[in-house]
Amino acid sequence: MACLYLTDTGSLTASELVQRLGVSPASISKAITFLEGQGLVRRERDERRRERYFVDDDVWYQATIASARANAQIIETARQGVSILGPDTPAANRLENIARFMDFVSEGITRAAEQARAVLHTKPGTPPDDPL
């Protein structure tokens, strides 16, 4: 991902990544598959029908929102645990506190990411609109 970010275009082919990083094509394939699954890179075919891998300015926003969605799964699981254990048990109280904490943090992260998204599209040296 760093290698893609450090190019002017934000894009490289698998063979370019292999050459720049000095790793095997299999390593690139595995890394790209992981990064793509996380929504951190995307692939497109170029005019020569080679796959090119891209990072976008929005990748940090997308990653932050994906993290908040993952937290939502933790929250849901904790709340299911509360209903299974019964709301008056110490373990259920701990799970409910986890759910409330994670819910509060996730809402704050999502709100901040939405407000600050414009920063990702601002040229360096130009003050962005105050997102907060």
DSSP per position, 48-97:
TS-EEEE--TTHHHHHHHHHHHHHHHHHHHHHHHHHHH-TTSHHHHHHHH
Q: For the chain, how many helices (H) and strands (E)?
A: 5, 3
Q: Which of 33, 54, 75 finishes a domain?
A: 54
| Owning domain of residue 93 | 59-121
DSSP secondary structure of 21-33: HT--HHHHHHHHH
Domain count across the chain? 2
Total-model pTM = 0.60
pLDDT in tens, 37-71: 878 898 888 888 889 999 887 888 888 888 888 89
> Are 41 and 64 contained in the same domain?
no
The H or E element that residue 41 is part of is none
Classify residue 63: in a domain, yes or no: yes
pLDDT in tens, 106-127: 999 999 998 888 887 777 776 6
CATH of the domain at 16: 1.10.10.10
